[in-house]
Chains A and B, each alone.
Chain A
């Protein structure tokens, strides 16, 4: 199944080596991480060394080789968000979820990531929750979001 999907994605990108990063993004979107099998298939289909693909997959922060949690929280720590109190929000989230950025909670409910500037600086501090941009965050709002998501069974708009 993984192999077939990877073949499909690579074909969509016309088997171009220049599309390697885009291909990896598409694979990760489907499986929420980059499975070893997928990377091996990419290497063989594009005639590249698995070693180089592995290097690329571990070099870029967007990729993960470990499965992500159900809800993804990405906090921006760019300069503008930083001066508007970004670190305080990070501390609150770390306190609540008991994980570090890049990790997933034990119950696989939440994954936390930090990113260096999403380009929405004027509405900072910014947090992306399950793909939705939330501006003007603070520790209190962040706590509310996480509490609501913990309770929800289905994906509802909580902001």
Chain B
């Protein structure tokens, strides 16, 4: 049984894509690169970071920007992943991100990739970029149901209920594993040929575990 397909255009290329896929999945299938941040293949699409935005015209409609990780393909879709409007938007998003979390490597990487040379906003020092990957990992893959968003707006945080680790948390460290912020900026090797082994754990890490570590380094870990 051949699955139904639709014809879409991405960056001028006509593609025949399986129905039910998102623009991002289609792009990846055909080797077209779209940057992402809060997307993980094995987890549900969230559409929160907005980095994967593309310019879309659906059935000849006036074009608009939307996230490629959530937008499903349909017949006649025309997509542009690098139009001036997309690039301008992505640059500003990267600038906003790095102004909020300059010590998170992935934010700096994104800014560098977008060619940002200056940040015009007063810098903060958040260590969590609120991508929600840890929460989705906990719920969808590991069935821990221990992490969630609390509060809203600029006060939004990832936390455990009442700042205590619930019984459903099995210390699986899945949250640890998917967190894109859990990478230390490379301080550089001191002597040539040295293996520093530092790029595995951050000194100060996103803090949603009440014990101050990601539930893994503390004394309460029976492992």
List chain A positions with a Cβ less than 8 A from chain B: 36, 49-55, 58-59
Q: Would you call B149 and A55 a contact (CB within 8 A)?
A: yes
Q: Of residues 124 to 158 in B, which have CB atoms within 8 Å of A's CB atoms?
A: 145-152
How many contacts A-B (CB < 8 Å)?
28
Q: Of residues 154 to 174 in B, which have CB atoms within 8 Å of A's CB atoms?
A: 160-162, 166, 168
Q: Would you call B166 and A50 a contact (CB within 8 A)?
A: yes
Q: Majority SS of interface residues in chain B?
A: loop
Q: Majority SS of interface residues in chain A?
A: helix
Specify which of A51, A53, A58, A59 is in contact with B147 (CB 8 Å cutoff): A51
Closest 7 pairs between A and B when the two form their complex, measured CB to CB: A54-B161, A58-B150, A51-B148, A55-B148, A49-B145, A58-B151, A50-B161
Which residues on B sit within 8 Å (CB–CB) of A52? 148
Specify which of B146, B151, B166 is in contact with A59 (CB 8 Å cutoff): B151
Q: Would you call A54 and B145 a contact (CB within 8 A)?
A: no
Least Cβ distance of A37 to chain B in Å?
A: 10
| Assembled-state Cα–Cα distance A36/B161 (Å) | 9
| Assembled-state Cα–Cα distance A60/B146 (Å) | 20
Residue of B nearest to A50 (CB): B161
Which residues on A sit within 8 Å (CB–CB) of B146? 51
Quick one: which of B151, B152, B160, B161 has the most chain A CB within 10 A?
Answer: B161
